[in-house]
Amino acid sequence: MLEEYDFSNARKNPYAKALKKQITINIDSNTIDYFKEQAEVVGIPYQTLINLYLKDCVANNRHLSLSWQ
């Protein structure tokens, strides 16, 4: 290990804005099971799949239409 490092040519992390934030969220078990099944088919972790789905909702400015009966 060097005593001193030269960071004069360093550049910012291009992915810094895409850092993820850990949260706690309550999701129905059948919803989690659905995403786990889909994730297995696609071959990616289910949490990544949920994140991709939510990012798609944001990118396409989707809004829920709820009606209470």
Mean pLDDT by 10 residues, the chain (69 residues): 90 80 94 97 96 95 88
- Listing DSSP states for the chain in one string gives --S----TT----TTGGG----------HHHHHHHHHHHHHHTS-HHHHHHHHHHHHHHTT--------
pLDDT value of position 12: 85
